[in-house]
Amino acid sequence: MAHIGIVAAGFYRHILDMQLAGARAALKAAGATHELVEVPGALEIPGAIGLATETGRYDGFVALGCVIRGETYHFEIVAGESARGIMALTMDGLAIGNGILTVENEAQAIARADPGQKNKAGEAVAAMLALLALREKFAG
């Protein structure tokens, strides 16, 4: 049974709560256990995954959070750098499902976070589980 670290940015709590519901349902359906680690925002997610990896407790990770475009360039930095950090960790061999939403507005975020709509957190779990299966296939 896989033990998964959910690393979640709580900046938009109402969005995160929907994401957590979708991710937890997908993990339960897969028979995986999980622990939740919360960080302030999306930029802190890759660093927290890196630190959590050092514990050896997790088989894979799901990154959850939301970045909504605002009036400044900050959106591009947060969206791009959080994705870059997650990709770098993935290229180092970690199984990570990236469920960080990068959207134009709150309505788009809700549609993607809601388990009854697009359920992007559930998709992130599926992606992480696929990477775990590939790792097992290539290891043996």
Annotated binding site for 5-amino-6-(D-ribitylamino)uracil: 11, 42-44, 66-68, 98
Query: What tokens appear for 115 in the block?
Result: 């388990």
Rounded distance between C-alpha atoms, residue 102 and residue 78, angstroms: 9
Q: Is the dihedral of CA 111, 115, 117, 121 positive or negative?
A: positive
Q: Is 74 an active-site residue?
A: yes
Number of helices (H), then strands (E), belonging to the chain: the values are 5, 4
Segment (H or E) for 136: helix 120-139
Binding site, annotated residues for (2S)-2-hydroxy-3-oxobutyl phosphate: 71-72, 112
The residues annotated with a catalytic role in the active site are: 74
